[in-house]
């Protein structure tokens, strides 16, 4: 148990700085520019995908509203 | 079979988009020169330059030739070179003491060629600085002209400095705008039909097409911003086309404000249809005329359409045109779902209130 706790503390103490370093602007810029800036294209595709998914969710909300209106008629 | 035929444009859009994403992402870039470690070269010295390539197989070929080229006739060939790995090479140039042109400083490009990767060029790679002006040792510049390049066709996208792999965004960012414009065009056609007939179904068509068109415009702005961050240096540079695109979107966002501010009915449908026509008419100069009259970071400023040369070569056209058709049909599919929902909503409200 003690071993488990200490290892989890160690993991977190390593994890947090790692995440912080990765999220710092310099690292993200280096990452986006790696492999001929291919991640910029991946980001653009992700933006389009997320945009369409959000649009579908909003559309579904409107359908639910219409269904409720019909049920309460 | 009937069902397949009825939904032909949906299947077609999915097939085209699968093709566009697969080929757009998987076809490689042509080999190119990424960067060098030196920019300023002093004439009359020996220069050792470390050159970094992209997508090359330098170790596979032994017939490398590298030039520093001032113009079409004048170039200096590397005296010796050492291949470090597949994408790195060190070249040694013996620079003549005088420039071939009557200047003290000249821009020069770096040219490399081998039988495996073909010719590669890094434009404006060096600034040659000479102590003596005037044509002197011109013969040194003419000894080893750029010739017999290993030109050949490969199924690959063009290498462009700064753009690098992001040239693929031509298949995802640009069709958003083409799709938006085509959806707005159909919307304008339905607006005219609405004004002529007062058929409320056309109002639903106009609303749905404007909605999906605006979604495409927003996605175009966002994908453009992330592309601009890593090529032009900032998410928003105040580029004329960026600003005009933002204005176009604001004009179309006002359509939804206007629509939500009025009570449903024939009057609202007519007013918003006329507004849509004005918005569409305004978007043409905003997106296609004004940006071409101003200096712009986008290709195609200063009057020339952007589609030519290495920005969109024949290989890219085989993906780009399907991308435009695919994204547009997909947008029409989305708008058709919105149309049917909007129409149902109107029908049920009519039922509730009458």
A44 touches chain B (CB under 8 A): yes
Distance from CA of B345 to the nearest CA of A (A): 6
List the single residue in A with minimal CA-CA distance to B24. A41
**Does the pLDDT value for residue B131 go beyond 80?**
no
* Interchain CB distance below 8 Å, B29 and A62: no
With an 8 Å Cβ cutoff, is A38 touching chain B? yes
Query: Which residues in chain B have Cβ-Cβ distances shorter than 8 Å to A62?
Result: 341, 345
Tally Cβ neighbours within 10 Å of residue B300. 16
Q: How far does A48 lie from chain B, in Å, by closest CA?
A: 6
Displacement of CA B37 from its chain's centroid (Å): 28
Question: How do residues A22-51 score in pLDDT, each as one tens digit?
Answer: 677 778 888 888 888 999 999 999 999 999
Average pLDDT over residues A3-26: 65
In this prediction, residue B21 carries a pLDDT of: 95
Instruction: Reduce the secondary structure of B97-118 to three states and give it as a string.
Output: CECCCCCCEEEEEEEEECCCCC
A66 interface with B at CB cutoff 8 Å = yes
For residue A25, the SS3 value is: helix
Residue B211 predicted with pLDDT over 90: yes
Between B6 and A53, residue with greater pLDDT = A53
B253-271: b or e for each residue (b if 16 or more CB lie within 10 Å)? eebeeebeeeeeeeebbee
Phi, psi of B129 (to 5 degrees): -115, 120
Band (B321; pLDDT cuts 50, 70, 90): very high
Helix (H, G, I), strand (E, B) or coil at B344: helix
Helix (H) or strand (E) holding B274: helix B266-284
Average pLDDT of chain B? 89
Considering only alpha carbons, which residue of chain A is nearest residue B172?
Answer: A45
Over 70: is that where the pLDDT of A3 sits? no
Mean pLDDT of all residues belonging to chain A: 81
pLDDT at B147: 82
pLDDT confidence bin for A9, thresholds 50/70/90: low
| CA separation for the pair B186, B252 (Å, rounded) | 14
Which residue from B212, B226, B344 is facing A40, i.e. has the nearest CB? B226
Q: Which of A38, A45, A59 should we substitute to test contact with B (largest number of B Cβ atoms within 10 Å)?
A: A45
Bridge partner list, B33: B53
What local confidence, expressed as pLDDT, does residue A6 receive? Answer: 55
Q: Give the closest-approach CA distance of B185 to chain A in angstroms.
A: 21
What is the arithmetic mean of pLDDT over A41-68? 94
pLDDT one-digit tens code per residue, B132-156? 655 666 777 888 888 888 888 888 9
Instruction: Summarize the confidence of residues B61-66 as an average pLDDT.
Output: 89
What percent of chain B has pLDDT above 70?
Answer: 94
Q: Which of residues A43 and B293 earns the better pLDDT score?
A: A43
> What is the third-level CATH fold of B33-142?
Immunoglobulin-like (2.60.40)
A67 within 8 A of B348, measured Cβ to Cβ: no
pLDDT at B87: 92
Is B352–A73 a contact, with Cβ atoms under 8 angstroms apart? yes
Nearest residue on chain B to A34, alpha-carbon basis: B165
**How do residues B106-129 score in pLDDT, each as one tens digit?**
899 999 999 989 999 998 899 988
CB contact under 8 A, B345 and A40: no
Q: What does the block give as tokens for B151?
A: 């030109």
Instruction: Give residue limits of the domains in chain A.
Output: 2-71
* Strands of the B80-85 sheet, one edge to the other: B32-36, B46-54, B88-94, B80-85
Q: Is A14 touching B (CB cutoff 8 A)?
A: no
Question: pLDDT category, B295, cuts 50, 70, 90?
Answer: confident
Q: Render pLDDT for B172-208 as a digit per residue (tens, 0 to 9).
A: 999 999 999 999 999 999 999 999 998 999 999 999 9
A-facing residues of B in 230-259 (CB < 8 A) are 230-231
DSSP state of B87: T
pLDDT band at A8 (very low <50, low <70, confident <90, very high): low
> For position B31, what pLDDT does the model report?
92
Task: State residue B279's pLDDT score.
Answer: 96
Q: CB-CB: which of A41, A63, A73 is closest to B341?
A: A63
Please say whether the beta carbons of B272 and B258 come within 8 A: yes
Indicate if the pLDDT at residue B281 is higher than 70.
yes
On whether any CB of chain A is under 8 Å from the CB of B344, the answer is: yes
Domain boundaries, chain B: 33-142, 164-353
| pLDDT at site B292 | 81
Rounded Cα distance between B189 and B165, Å, is 38
């Amino acid at each position: 148990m003690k071993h488990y706790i200490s290892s989890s503390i160690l993991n977190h103490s390593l994890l947090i700085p790692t995440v912080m370093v990765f999220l710092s602007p310099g690292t993200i810029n280096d990452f986006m520019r790696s492999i001929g800036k291919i991640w910029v294209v991946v980001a653009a595709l992700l933006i389009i995908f997320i945009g369409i998914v959000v649009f579908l969710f909003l559309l579904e909300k409107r359908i639910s509203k219409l269904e409720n209106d019909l049920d309460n008629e | 079979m009937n069902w397949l035929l009825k939904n032909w444009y949906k299947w077609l859009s999915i097939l085209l988009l699968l093709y566009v994403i697969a080929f757009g992402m998987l076809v490689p870039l042509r080999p190119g020169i990424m960067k060098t470690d030196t920019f300023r070269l002093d004439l009359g010295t020996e220069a050792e330059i470390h050159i970094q390539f992209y997508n090359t197989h330098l170790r596979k070929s032994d017939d490398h030739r590298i030039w520093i080229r001032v113009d079409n006739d004048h170039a200096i060939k590397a005296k010796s070179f050492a291949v470090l790995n597949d994408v790195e090479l060190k070249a040694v140039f013996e620079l003549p003491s005088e420039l071939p042109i009557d200047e003290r400083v000249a821009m020069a490009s770096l040219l490399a060629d081998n039988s495996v990767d073909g010719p590669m060029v890094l434009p404006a790679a060096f600034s040659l600085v000479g102590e003596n002006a005037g044509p002197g040792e011109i013969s040194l510049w003419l000894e080893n002209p750029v010739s017999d390049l290993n030109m050949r066709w490969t199924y690959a996208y063009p290498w462009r400095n700064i753009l690098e792999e992001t040239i693929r965004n031509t298949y995802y960012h640009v069709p958003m705008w083409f799709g938006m414009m085509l959806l707005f065009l159909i919307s304008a056609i339905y607006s005219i039909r609405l004004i002529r007939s007062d058929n409320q179904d056309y109002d639903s068509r106009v609303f749905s097409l404007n909605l999906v068109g605006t979604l495409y415009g927003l996605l175009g702005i966002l994908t453009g911003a992330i592309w601009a961050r890593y090529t032009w240096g900032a998410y928003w540079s105040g580029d004329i086309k960026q600003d005009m695109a933002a204005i176009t979107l604001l004009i179309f966002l006002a359509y939804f404000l206007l629509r939500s501010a009025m009570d449903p009915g024939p009057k609202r449908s007519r007013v918003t249809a006329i507004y849509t026509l004005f918005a569409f008419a305004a978007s043409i100069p905003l997106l296609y005329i004004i940006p071409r009259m101003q200096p712009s970071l986008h290709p195609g400023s200063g009057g020339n359409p952007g589609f030519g040369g290495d920005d969109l070569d024949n290989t890219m056209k085989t993906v780009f045109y399907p991308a435009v058709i695919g994204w547009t049909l997909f947008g029409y599919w989305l708008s058709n779902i919105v149309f049917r929902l909007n129409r149902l909503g109107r029908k049920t409200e009519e039922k509730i209130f009458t």
